Amino acid sequence: MTEAHELIPSAKRLIKSLRDIGYDFSTAVADLVDNSIEAGATRIDILVEFDGDKSFVRISDNGKGMTVDELKEAMRYGSERAYNKEDLGKFGLGLKTASMSQCQCFYVASRTMEEINFIPAFCWDLAHIEKTNKWEIIEPKEKQILSLLRDPLNEHKGTVVLWQRVDRMLGFKHPYGEPARKKLISMCRELEGYLAMVFHKFLAHETSREPLEIYLNFNKIEPWDPFARNESETKELTHHKVKLIHEGARGKILLQPYILPTKEEFSSPDSFRHASGPKNWNQQQGFYIYRANRMIQSGGWCGIRTRDEHTKLSRIELNFSPVFDNAFKINVAKMSVQLPVQIKEDIEKVIMPAVRLAREHYDGKKKLSSKPSVQSKCTTQAPETDKKESGSNPDKSESSKSFGTSYGIEPPKFLFEEMEEKAIEVATETEKPIIKQVFQRLRKSLFGERL
What is the domain class of 11-220 according to CATH?
Answer: alpha beta
- The verdict on pTM exceeding 0.85 is no
The domain segmentation of the chain, as residue ranges, is: 11-220, 235-412, 418-451
What pLDDT is stored for residue 327 in this prediction? 92
Contact 414, 310 (CB under 8 A): no
Residue type, 436: K
Report the half-sphere exposure of 89 (CA within 13 A, side-chain side): 24
| Number of neighbouring beta carbons within 10 Å of residue 58 | 19
What pLDDT is stored for residue 334 in this prediction? 67
Coil vs helix vs strand at 72 = helix
- Which portions of the chain are predicted below pLDDT 70? 80-92, 172-173, 332-335, 365-418, 443-451
Distance set, CA 419 to CA 183, 351, 394 (Å): 46, 17, 20
Coil vs helix vs strand at 385 = coil
- Identify which of 279, 283, 101 has the alpha carbon closest to the alpha carbon of residue 190: 279
- Identify which of 329, 291, 317 has the alpha carbon closest to the alpha carbon of residue 89: 291
Give dist(CA 102, CA 97) in Å, integer: 9
User: For residue range 211-242, what is the model confidence (pLDDT) as tens digits?
Assistant: 999 999 999 999 999 999 999 999 999 999 99
What pLDDT is stored for residue 179 in this prediction? 86
CA-CA-CA-CA dihedral for 330, 334, 337, 340, to nearest 10: 30
Coil vs helix vs strand at 49 = strand
Distance set, CA 402 to CA 397, 413, 427 (Å): 10, 11, 20
What is the domain class of 235-412 according to CATH?
Answer: alpha beta
What pLDDT is stored for residue 88 in this prediction? 57
User: For residue range 365-398, what is the model confidence (pLDDT) as tens digits?
Assistant: 444 444 444 444 433 343 344 444 434 443 433 3
Radius of gyration of the chain (CA): 25
Give dist(CA 196, CA 32) in Å, integer: 15
What pLDDT is stored for residue 22 in this prediction? 82
Give dist(CA 193, CA 180) in Å, integer: 20
